[in-house]
Chain A
């Protein structure tokens, strides 16, 4: 795209192009259409009732935004709770499995594991 510049004379000619402008006239039957609209407005349309204010796009967007945020925060909290419960459960499962099969799995905090007992006796 090649940019050229206009001369000052051209710009001034454009700036003065509205000199002598005549007023645009309202379209024909303007008053007739206006009267009809006034008569229609005499009964307040239901869409303008305050109860329908919630349907405005800006309000809908704001509500969606709030709901999404609440759901996201709830999901994060639930996930944290689940992972804590999950860790506790898996450790308990591991212990019961090792006891059942006498595997002597040593857990750092478990001082009564079979392996430790064997070492101590030695």
Chain B
């Protein structure tokens, strides 16, 4: 089914069209979300939310951009929202534990993330890179992830982020500077 026909069928609520959409885009969505969140369980949850969002708002899709661009945009938005929500919950849990109202220990994220698509010889280095990427500001993290992990061109990234190509170049330049700074120290 070509993209235009797929969109038409999705708007009509055709379940087969939705199944095809999921089959076509599940890996794209999952890979993007996984690279931002760096947690497999959370990535699956958020990926499902992306498709739920698509299911609920396909009628509002005007077709001004490619379907993949729209999917990336929703995936990135949902991932960043999830991260912000997680940070708020963590802050609240810390305050609760200080006042003794919450007896549960504050859960910490696993220290290291291993992306399944990285070659064996690069696994250790990639782990360090993902750790440094997690500390980048949002725009830089998104631009770097879409470029390095998804392999998108600057134009495609600009379309997803709804900014100019010059802005994407600036985000990537600053991201690399910040990553170099973060990676320049080894702690023993």
Contact = CB atoms under 8 A, between A and B. Distances in A.
Do A and B actually bind?
yes
Interface in A1-59: 1-6, 11, 13-15, 17-27, 30-31, 33-34, 37-38, 41, 57
A24 B179 contact: no
Interface size class of A (residues with CB under 8 A): 20 to 34
A38 B128 CA distance: 37
Contacts of A18: 115, 118, 122, 126, 129, 148-149
B100 interface: no
B52 to A, nearest CB: 6
Contacts of A20: 119
B22 A30 contact: yes
A30 B117 CA distance: 18
A26 B176 contact: no
Contacts of A31: 19, 22-23, 26
Given A14-B125, A15-B176, A17-B122, A24 B55 contact: no
B136 interface: no
Interface in A71-88: none
A38 B52 contact: yes
Given A21-B149, A25-B30, A30-B22, A3 B185 contact: yes
Interface string B30-43: 11001100001000
B27 A17 contact: no
29 contacts: A1-B187, A1-B188, A3-B187, A5-B184, A6-B183, A6-B184, A6-B185, A11-B180, A13-B125, A15-B180, A17-B126, A17-B129, A18-B115, A18-B126, A18-B129, A21-B115, A21-B117, A21-B149, A23-B150, A24-B27, A24-B30, A24-B116, A25-B30, A25-B31, A26-B47, A27-B44, A30-B47, A30-B48, A31-B19
